[in-house]
Amino acid sequence: MREVRIAAFAKINLCLDILGKRPDGYHELRTIFQTVSLHDQLILLPSKQKEISLLIEGNTVLSQEAPQKNLVFRAVDALRRELKIRSGVEIDLKKKIPAGRGLGGGSSDAAAALLGYLRLTKRTMPYPRLLEIAASLGADVPFFLSGGRALGIGRGDEIYPLPDIPKVFLVIVSPKSIHVPTPDAYRWLKAGPLTLTKSVAHPKLWKFCALCWSTQGSGLSNDFEAPVFQRHPRLAQIKRALLQRGAAEASLAGSGSAVFGVFPSPVLARRAAVGFPDDQTFVCETLSRDRYVRKMQGTR
């Protein structure tokens, strides 16, 4: 029986600036996304049944939830409706990216499900329409259709590719006992209303624009750090420990609670990772857009 295997890669935010709260209730942000090699895996198989069957391994909480709530199920369901496909599909989602840690695992799973299902059914879809479906699933999902390094504006769903940076090695530390719901992080941030001055001439934008076109990738920043670290001092301790263990830079991942450090070599990264015995750690590397696309297409 023909099957499709596709990886769903995690992301970090090299920069994440919150400009203010929009009239529609969402926050206006500017961020630089970067895909990394840490990944989940999806296996899609044709089914003799007419339903979507979803099995989740590696995350007890997600496996016990109703499948219809999962972004993978919703992504495939949206494509089936759009393409008017009635045949069923079996999906096995093997989780490795920790959920709720700011690494984009759920959004990446959704994008991989969209691309994997199109491969399985040998169907195509105009890219603009695929982007619309991705955005309807979540703000980060459109980014994961192409990966690499990219600028995200608006809610983070308006994506513009950026030049890749040289490959760097990362240690991602995911504290097992700390979970930061994204709505809580935004509430703690207490962002004021978005104004024309803030959106066009925000003082951070000059630095941000320079970082966008830098090919070095230096200058990590994240507006969520101050409010999240204030409520969870352990995360600030992890950041300091990463720097003390040789990280050139370190930052909170998204709205947290994972923290990552950037290292010049995999050896130094592996040495640093052993210093967090009470936390879940991952040693990985950044993925260029070309390499990301090849992997998503099933080639090397």
CA distance linking residue 34 with residue 143, whole number of Å: 9
Closest alpha carbon to 59 in 106, 8, 103: 106
CA distance linking residue 211 with residue 292, whole number of Å: 21
| Burial (Cβ within 10 Å: 0-12, 13-18, ≥19) of residue 166 | exposed
Among residues 17, 40, 140, 157, which one is catalytic? 140
CA distance linking residue 182 with residue 49, whole number of Å: 37
DSSP 224: T
CA distance linking residue 116 with residue 139, whole number of Å: 20
With H, G, I as helix, E, B as strand and everything else as coil, classify residue 97. Answer: coil
11 as an active site residue: the answer is: yes
122 as an active site residue: the answer is: no
Q: Which helix (H) or strand (E) holds 157?
A: none
The residues carrying an active-site annotation are: 11, 140
